[in-house]
Amino acid sequence: MKHWELFVIPTFFLFFISGCSDSASFSQPIAYNHKKHIEEAGLGCFDCHTQVLTHQKANIPNVEFCKNCHETPMTDSKEEEKLVGYIQENQPIPWIQVHRVPDHAYFSHRRHVSLGKVACQDCHGDVNNMTLPFSKPFYPIKMQFCITCHEKNRVNTDCATCHR
Amino acid sequence: MKWGMVIDLQKCTGCGECAAACKLENNVAIVAHKESEMGRTMLWMDMLTIYEGEYPRLRVRQIPRPCMHCDHPPCTKVCPVRATYINEEGIVAQIYPQCIGCRYCMAACPYTVKSFNWYKPSFPPGMARTTNPDVSVRPVGVVEKCTFCIHRLQIAREQAKSEARDLRENDYQPACGASCPTGAIVFGDLENANHQVNRLAHNPRATKLLEDLGTEPKVIYLKEVD
């Protein structure tokens, strides 16, 4: 083997591996701090994600909602400055959706949270202590994850309950 | 609980509204004319053409034909991966991510209700964004068929539970039944004496397609009265 091959091949391999592992993570437009909002502002999950208990799909609040508190800056944080910029321009924050259930599966937040009394943390992880927004799902969105919980709680595991 | 359907041929005018509603409701792909001539048309609710009598007294009729959701379905018995199976409520379900596209079920079905996705699903310009978000768009290489609009059952059941009540007859109606302008398609629980479908299933006019095969279809036709 030539000398240059000894260097080039492992380098390519490392690039390939690093590319694969990073492909599933995203960087969000604002470094939103869940912990601060929960502990210092005293907010709960459903104060901002208002549709969780009543709708199939959960929601991320829009700038109109954030404006209730952040119309003028409350701190000298650079991240808040970005938010205020979006509010003043009345532009939606380009959040990247991280948790995405495939369209062949029926998933309803209302059914799980409101009717099934599943805690948010059971699927989304320890959000209360998160200082940065989601860059990738806390738990992988795989069928086995759903089945494990359904079996543990003795809920219907018939395929057609969720598949469509 | 056993879901079933009654189609009253006395009321059916063969207008094809059920077939159109089904196609839109379930994001059934539109196949080009050339491929359609090769027998690759995709329809969950087909209109069977029946010729009665002889010229000059020839009569042509159109009869709606969804999946029969048989009690003894031949398709589920041949599926090697359990992508199609009959559930406790009698619905013969089709689980697309599980399907390997072998098409054994299509060969086994005596009613030819199943369609194979020969092509990547495509919709005419402007229609791609009007697909029903409650139903998945099937990928190429899987078999699909009528599911009695099971997504409507999933949604209706959740709504009933959130209102702390039982599922009512009208809560869950497939698109074909809901769209029928003459009320010829009646859907409900065959085991529930309060449901209209239960009474109609015991009507003397009731008949089933290819009944002698022993598949026990849960789609029952009411013959025309001469």
Do B167 and B127 meet the contact criterion of CB atoms below 8 Å apart?
no
CB B66 within 8 A of CB B12: no
Q: For A143, which residue in chain B has the nearest alpha carbon? A: B97
In chain B, where the domains are located: 3-222
**Is B87–A158 a contact, with Cβ atoms under 8 angstroms apart?**
yes
Quick one: CA dihedral B72, B73, B79, B83, positive or negative?
negative
B142: CB partners within 8 A, 6+ apart:
B83, B96, B99, B101, B116, B117
Beta-ladder partners of B207: B221
**pLDDT tens-digit series, residues B64-114:** 999 999 999 999 999 999 999 999 999 999 999 999 999 999 999 999 999
For residue A4, the model assigns a pLDDT of 56
Note whether A159 contacts B88, CB cutoff 8 Å: no
* CB B28, CB B41: distance < 8 Å: no
Return the beta strands (E) in chain B as ranges.
Answer: 3-8, 46-52, 59-65, 84-86, 92-94, 115-116, 143-144, 185-189, 206-207, 219-222
Q: By the 8 A CB rule, do B115 and B134 touch? A: no
The confidence score (pLDDT) of residue A3 equals 61
- Look at B137 and A103 and tell me if their CB atoms are within 8 Å: yes
Cβ within 8 Å of B, A 43-82: 56
Tokens matching residue A8:
């080039």
Contact across the interface for B158 and A164, Cβ inside 8 Å: no
Look at B98 and A159 and tell me if their CB atoms are within 8 Å: yes
Of A106, A114, A158, the CB nearest to B162: A114
Residue for token pair 């060969």: B107
Q: How many residues in chain B?
A: 226
Q: Which residue of B has its CA nearest to A107?
A: B154
pLDDT of amino acid A23: 41
Contact A160 B161 (CB under 8 A): no
Which of A11-25, A27-41, B197-211 bottoms out in mean pLDDT, i.e. has the lowest?
Answer: A11-25
Q: What is the rounded CA–CA span in Å between residue B32 and residue B16?
A: 20
| A160 contacts on B by Cβ (under 8 Å) | 87, 91, 93, 95, 147, 150
Residue B173 CA, distance from chain mean position: 12
- pLDDT recorded at residue B83: 97
Pairs of residues, one from chain A and one from chain B, whose beta carbons lie less than 8 Å apart: 48
CB within 8 A of B63, min separation 6: which ones? B7, B9, B12, B14, B47, B48, B50, B221
A142 CB within 8 Å of a chain B CB: no
Q: What is the pLDDT of residues A104-134, one digit of tens each?
A: 999 999 999 999 999 999 999 999 999 999 9
Write down the ipTM of this complex: 0.85
Q: Calculate what percentage of chain A has a pLDDT beyond 70.
A: 84
Reduced DSSP (H G I as helix, E B as strand, rest coil) percent helix, strand, coil of chain A, to 5 = 50, 0, 50
Residue ranges per structural domain of chain A: 26-60+95-162
Q: CB A104 to CB B150 under 8 A?
A: no
Distance CA A56, CA B178 (A): 23
Write out the CATH class of domain B3-222: alpha beta
Task: Return all residues near B113 (Cβ < 8 A) that are at least 6 apart.
Answer: B44, B46, B65, B66, B67, B68, B145, B146
Closest by Cβ to B150, choosing from A110, A114, A164: A164
- Does A40 contact B at CB distance below 8 Å? no
Between A13-27, A52-66, B119-133, B150-164, the lowest mean confidence (pLDDT) is in A13-27
pLDDT band for A6, please (50, 70, 90 cuts).
low
- Taking only the tens place, the pLDDT of each residue in B119-150 is 998 888 888 778 999 999 999 999 999 999 99
